[in-house]
Structures are given as structure tokens and as C-alpha cells.
Structure 1
């Protein structure tokens, strides 16, 4: 699930953003971003390992008190729902209606996708996790097929000169990477370690999942640069989809960009459902509901509605993703965990 979550919307944003900032060296900030994501994971684990049976929301209440803890949890949940669920439902509708089914209204795709999310959560996180186990090999094979089919078209001169953009853009693109594939990992703290059978022993698996997801993003980005070139990759809204359109094996295997569509739909589903589960379980714990699934249908309907108004247009979406989202998600994925880590170290409060 961590691998699929890491790929998710990053497959849309990272190749074009990295090419725009670093040109031929677009692969460099992805490597630094993977390192930063490991550091973020270290902070998250230090935060929750003292309280392995509690979720992030419960740790908030324990360490920060009823009122401050509730306020922090509400802000955290709002980030998961608006910044995660609603925007990713929008991404799904925008991708399908602009690239595959141009005559279908956005709201139809948004409603169908929201219904699938509701169905998954009603079946429970264990069913979702087992589905991820089944579909991950499919995603891995599709990515391998994509890289294998386009590899004959890779031109090494597209990677030269390597360091043309300088050092400063690396920081910006690294922040872009961790805002999509690093900071959002905090929402797994509603699952890990409290709902994981092996508890904190799964920490290395958590880190490994992030690294594998990052490596797959690195391969796709490198393929985009090698085949399309840095300038073309930077201009395209969906460069990986355009990459798949270049596949032509003996004039027989062509027009199989459905490979990328399948990868993106599968990974985006699991990324969105993690955000959705964090929202649902967090709200249920704040409201002290005995059955968290009572919130699934209302939240699903709300997500479908808000996904139609969360962005005004594609230009607004790009502006928001580049300038606002990194700092918003940094609050939930770095500042709040550091706050809990500091308060926990000072107060040394035990689980009641």
C-alpha cells in the first residue's frame, strides 16, 4: 500500500515539475527527495513508537489535551479530506475526461470513483490491503512493460548536460517531491502501527515501500526525459501518458497508453483510500462513534460534490499544487509530528 500510495498522484506531478525545474537533471531531486522522505519517516516513527496502540488522533488528544488536541486533529483531518480525497477525485475526473473519454462530464467520473472508494471502505481496511497485494504485481508488470517498450527510443543526449539548472532548483523540486510522496505518509499513522499485526516491527517495511515507490517514479521520470526530452516533458500535463503514446513495436504494438492509464487509476485509488480512511477513522474517534463506517457514505457524497469546486480550472490547480500544497501538507506531515515528539519527550505521558 505504501508503494502504491507513493506512486499515486506523484506520477502526474513529479516528471513535469522536475523537468521544468532541473531540465536534463530531473532525476537528481527525486533521489534527494527519497532521502528526505526517509528522514520524515524516521520522525513519524519516533512520534508513534512510544504509543504503538494509538492512532495519530488519539496521540494528539493524549499529549495536547482535549481542546488543543481536538483542534490539531481537525486541521489534520481537513488536510486529509480536502487536500487528499477531494483533490484526488478531481484528478481522476480531469484525467479520464481529458485523455480518454472526452465527451463524458467530469461529475460522472467523480461520482463513480467516489462510489468505488465508499465500497472499499465499507468492506474494510483488511480487504483493501489484500486487494493492494493482488494489484501491486499488476502495477509492477505494467511499469516494467512501459519502460521496456520505450527503452529503444531513449536518447542519451537528452540527459546532457546534467547540472545545467544549478543547485537552487534542486531544493524546490525536492520539496515538490516530498509534498506528494513524503509528508503525506503521515496519514498512514491512522493504520500504522496500531492496526498492523506486527506493530512497530513493520517499520522497515514502511521505509522500503517508500523507497521502492520512489525508485519506480525515478524510472518513469528518466524514461520521460530520455524519450520526450526535458522541454517537452515540462510542457506536458501528463508526460507519462504521452510517453506511452510513443510505443511502436514493429508497427504492431502501438497505441497502448492504456498501460499508463491503468497504472495511474490503480495507484490513485489506493492513495485516495488511505486519505479517506484517515479522515473517516479520525472523525469517528473525535466524535467517539462506535462504528466508523457510519461516516463513509456522507463523506463519499461530500467528496464527490467538493471535487467539482475544489479547483477552478487546470491553471489554478497547477498554481495551488506548486505554491500552496507543499506548505499546507508540511504542517500536517512535519510540524504536527515534531510538535507531538517534543511534547511527548517533555511530558513523558503514558498510555492511560
Structure 2
């Protein structure tokens, strides 16, 4: 964790864009709550709520310039409580990272390499990610500044190839199951992927021009949200709500409808590798940087490989199979993540605003 490791606002934008889309090439964040053909509405509501959450993050950054959330926690809550909350954030980052790596492992194991031990698959990703994090944020930003274009091209190409299979009737009737499933779907979309952008509050201090952070963050959120929205609508209209609700990897199933000789499964896997590595490297960098800051150290690198090993242990220990994994994502992660993504940042914003008001009154 070195203050001179700077990235541009444009690099931040590309990094956040890749992170936002992440593993959306194979899953649907709004599916699995009974919303059916209305899951796109749930995602849209979650997207709007995510904009307000991003406004909150930007307010915090404006009131606490060039500071990470770990440093802000100590300023707002005092040293002891701030350190305790900082440790909780690191635990959250590691837990979220274990979900990313396990999902990657399950997909590659089930779809591509069923005879390969899942531990080896996950270890391969974690090793790649660890190497990137060891190099620092500049290297991470440069890599995804290139790969994001490949990422978006593959998504657009798959969507265009699926146009002949689209049936507009699959999004009707609207509101068939009422608003409650849509509400649950929207909360899921808030936590995943938009609330996860709280992780970049560990990275904004690495941007060389603080004035452009807001523009970069909102641009990434709007473009990334648009891509996800299109893929959700695409999968609903291609697969239908009944099938969509019962699929593990809807994006993969949609791609299988593209006729031979075009086998695009490798493109799905490439997209997942890019997206999962972007998410995992961001979480691992934030975790190691957070530990370094809690210990008042200037370098995150000594913690990279120990945390990577811990990450693999979490991936194997927390989930026995894919069914337990997805149950954890839908029933546990959302409620575990919301305090870190919304509640604590909201309290930080209020405390920061009060501190600013008191400071201005004393001048």
C-alpha cells in the first residue's frame, strides 16, 4: 500500500466497469426470488437504488478526501471502534471474495473440466489474482483497462446472435406474482453488484485526480448497469421465466441455443475468467491494503499470499456443493452485505457531515 501508486480516473472507470459486470455473463442477480418475468423490473429498481448509494459513497469521499474507508472509520468512530469495524470490513471483503472464486470454480468444473479437482481450478485463479495484487493497483488497472474491451465485445456478440431466439411474450404478464418478489429481487440487485462498489472506497485514494472520481464511478455504474440490464432482458425473452428460475447458469444455457458451427461456450468461460479475476483481485487488494493500514504499515504485499491461502480455505470450508453455495448467495449474502454497503456508510456520511458543520462553525 503505497501512496505513490496512482491510477488515472479513466483507468478507474475501466476497472470499475469490469468489476461491476463481473460474473454476470453466467448468472442473473435478480433471479431466484419468484419474480419470474418481472425480474428485470426488480433489477431496474435495484439499479436506481444503487445510484443513490453511489451518491452516498461520493459524499463520503468528498468529505474525507484521499482516505480509504479503513482510515475514515478510525476518524469517525475513534481508534478502538474504528479498528474493530475495519476488521469487520476485511472479513466482509474476504467472504465476498470466497463467493466469487467458488462460483468461478463451480462453473469451470461443471461446464468445462468435470474431471479436474475444483480446488485446483480455484487455486489457479487465486494464484493469478495474487500475482496481480502483488504488482499493485497500477498493474491491475492496466490489465483490466485492456481486457474490458474484450469483455464487452463478447457480451454484445452473444446478445446479437441470440436475437432470432427472442420472444417478447416471455416478459408478460407483468406483475403476475405481485410486488413482494420484485422487492426481494431489487434488494438482491442492490447488494449484488451495485452495493459491492463500496470496495472502491479502498481504492479511490490511488486516483491521481480526485475531481474526476465521481464522473468515473457513475459512468462505470451506468454503463455496467446497462449491460447487465440488457443481458437480464435477453435471458428472460430467450429462455422464459419458468426455465430461467430453475437454471444454475442461465447465460450458459442461452448461449447453447446458438446453432452450430458456432460454439461460443469458450467465450462465456473467457468472460468469466476476466470478470471473476477482476472482482477477486479487487477484493484481495482491498483486504491486504486494509490490513496494512490497520497495522500502520506502508506496504500491502507481505499479506498477499497468506490472505490468498486463507481465501482458498474459505472457498472449500464454507460450501460443500453448488446447491449450498447458491443458497448462501441468495439467503445469506444479501443480508450480510447490506450493513457494510449501506448502513455503516450512511452512519459515516452523517458523522462526516456533522463534523464538517461543527468545523465550519468554529472557524
**TM-score normalised by the chain length of structure 2:** 0.91
Is 1:49–1:200's contact at 8 Å kept on the other side of the alignment?
no
| CA deviation vs aligned residue, 1:193-243 (integer Å, no higher than 9, x gap) | x11111142202201111111111111111111111111111110000111
Q: Distance in 2 between matches of 1:218 and 1:211?
A: 10
Aligned position for 2:72 = 59
Aligned position for 1:226 = 237
Superposition deviation, residue 177 in structure 1: 0.6
Is 1:159–1:226's contact at 8 Å kept on the other side of the alignment?
yes
The correspondence for 2:173, drawn from 151, 161, 179, is 161
Task: Identify unmatched segments of 5+ residues in structure 1.
Answer: none
Superposition deviation, residue 295 in structure 1: 0.6
Q: Distance in 2 between matches of 1:140 and 1:292?
A: 31
The answer to whether residue 211 in structure 2 is matched with residue 197 in structure 1 is no
SS state of the match for residue 197, structure 1? coil
Task: Identify unmatched segments of 5+ residues in structure 2.
Answer: 1-14
Q: Distance in 1 between matches of 2:128 and 2:88?
A: 26
Superposition deviation, residue 260 in structure 1: 1.6
Q: Distance in 1 between matches of 2:343 and 2:175?
A: 32
The answer to whether residue 127 in structure 2 is matched with residue 134 in structure 1 is no
Q: Distance in 2 between matches of 1:69 and 1:19?
A: 36
The correspondence for 1:115, drawn from 92, 106, 127, is 127
| CA deviation vs aligned residue, 1:287-322 (integer Å, no higher than 9, x gap) | 122321111111112112221112122222222211
Give the alignment of 1:281-300 within 5 angstroms: 281-300=289-308
Q: Figure out how many residues of one structure are paired with residues of the other and give that number.
A: 344
Is 2:32–2:330's contact at 8 Å kept on the other side of the alignment?
no
Superposition deviation, residue 18 in structure 1: 2.6
Is 1:154–1:227's contact at 8 Å kept on the other side of the alignment?
yes
Superposition deviation, residue 41 in structure 1: 0.4
Aligned position for 2:186 = 174
Superposition deviation, residue 19 in structure 1: 6.4
Aligned position for 2:250 = 239
The answer to whether residue 309 in structure 2 is matched with residue 301 in structure 1 is yes
Runs of 4+ in 1 over 6 A off after TM superposition: none
Superposition deviation, residue 13 in structure 1: 4.1
Q: What RMSD, in angstroms, separates the aligned Cα atoms of the two structures?
A: 1.6
SS state of the match for residue 334, structure 1? helix
Is 1:23–1:230's contact at 8 Å kept on the other side of the alignment?
yes
Is 2:133–2:285's contact at 8 Å kept on the other side of the alignment?
yes
The correspondence for 2:326, drawn from 318, 322, 344, is 318
Q: Distance in 1 between matches of 2:154 and 2:25?
A: 14
Q: Distance in 1 between matches of 2:304 and 2:217?
A: 26
Give the alignment of 1:1-352 within 5 angstroms: 1-14=15-28, 17-18=30-31, 21-82=34-95, 84-192=96-204, 194-248=205-259, 251-253=260-262, 255-348=263-356
**TM-score normalised by the chain length of structure 1:** 0.94
